[in-house]
Structure 1
Amino acid sequence: WGVWEEFRRQSQQLAYMVEPIRGHQLEEPEQSDARQMAAAIATLRSLVREKAELAGRQS
């Protein structure tokens, strides 16, 4: 299932992007962590929506 593979690949890329950010100790690590995670989740959600729309159009 190509859509799922693509989604997995992109979520792994996202994890790599978030990981180093989490490693940096900022003044308020919890807060920036939460912001980063929220941004990552929002990005994932829009990717999922996009993929679902593409899959819907193909079938």
Structure 2
Amino acid sequence: MLVAHAHLLRVLTARYLGLPPSEGRLFLLATARVGRLSTEHGLPVVSGWNQRPLPPVHE
């Protein structure tokens, strides 16, 4: 897990996908949202983006 400002996370996502850092501008990330990076068939993918975090589980 990585918690950071949206601008940094957008640049990180662009680099993870093999894009230049300036292409981070293409990824909208709202406040307090979750993005998930993964791989599929050995290639980097965005498996979730701009999702609301799950509520805490109370036992």
Higher relative contact order (CA 8 A, sep 6+): 1
Say which structure is richer in strand: 2
Say which structure is richer in helix: 1
Normalising by the residue count of structure 1, what TM-score does the alignment of the two structures yield? Answer: 0.28
Normalising by the residue count of structure 2, what TM-score does the alignment of the two structures yield? Answer: 0.28
